[in-house]
Amino acid sequence: MRVNHLFRGALLVIIGILLLLVNFGYIHPSIWWELLRLWPVLLIALGLKMIGSKDSVLLSVLAILLVLGAIGYSYYSLQETALSGDLKKANFDQAMHEDIEEVELTIHFGEGEIDLRGGTELLAEAKLDFIHQRPTWTYHEEETTGKLIIEQDTFASGRFPGRFSQGSHNIWNIKLNNEPAWSIVFNSGACKVEADFRDLDISRLIVNTGASDVNLTLGEQSMDGEIVVKAGASNIELTFPKEAGVKISKTGALSSDNLDSLNFIFEEDYYYSPNFYETEYVYEVDITTGVSSISVKLY
């Protein structure tokens, strides 16, 4: 095999693997910007190839190692940026209008930590700490329905639904008004989700996330709402009022749960809480995961 073919083939393999890791969310897309800063390394690698003969194995290996070193440095640079705590801040809020009966909230979140709960006198308020992409906040009303979207542009592009390292760490704190009904769609990469909805009326909740820790607490006002959780390899904790009946459908490879210890009854692909047919207030939960741990708690 000619050494030139070895060099070109190895370079294509390296680029292909890097593209796969980015597309599946294991490396943040910002690595391309880091590599762009190091573009002279490519000239050095090509120069090394030109200095030696066409069959110089040593210089070809050095050129390949130089490219790998540039990728490793770019990845390390992203990690250092995330861990340095050099977070930027964005604060948003929306006034509450008395005629608003329902709000459709859509969140596109990259990765990091997010806390969602009720308790604000405004319609919604958010304190969003971020590193790379500044979040955006858009709101409009259609008759008695408010529509709020909080997103980061890079996630909205659909490029990275999987798990990340710490290349784009975010810390978001969002508070919602307790009065209207909330229909919430949450999309994210790998993250930690703390959602305390005990004081909120949740008419619909859809969580679509990567490998994450997801803690959801529901209240009595949210009974009869639709709850859908789709996640990668995750730890999922669901907390319900003990008075509620709970019906759970779960699909996933090698997922563990504590439903037997709570005396849930398995019938026709669903798990039912012991009181499901004795109460008028019920939750119906659809969970689809990878290798995960699912825990249900009652309060």
Instruction: Tell me the domain boundaries of the chain.
Output: 3-83, 88-298
Tell me the residue type at 207: V
- What is the spatial distance between Cα 237 and Cα 257, in angstroms, rounded to a whole number? 10
**Average pLDDT, rounded, for the chain:** 84
Task: List, in order, residues 6 or more apart from 248 with CB less than 8 Å away.
Answer: 259, 264, 270, 271, 272, 285, 286, 287, 296
Q: 3-state class of 11 per DSSP?
A: helix
> What pTM was estimated for this model as a whole?
0.72
| Residue range 173-222, pLDDT digits in tens | 999 999 999 999 999 887 899 999 999 999 999 999 987 899 999 998 76
User: Tens of pLDDT along 124-183?
Assistant: 999 999 876 789 999 999 999 999 999 986 543 333 444 443 445 789 999 999 999 999
Q: How many CA atoms lie within 13 A of 104 on its CB side?
A: 7
Could you give the CA distance from residue 149 to residue 54 in angstroms, rounded to a whole number? 56
Quick one: which H or E segment has residue 6? helix 3-23
DSSP strands (E only) in the chain: 88-94, 102-109, 111-118, 124-130, 136-142, 145-151, 169-176, 181-188, 191-197, 201-208, 213-218, 226-230, 235-240, 245-252, 256-257, 265-267, 270-272, 282-289, 293-298
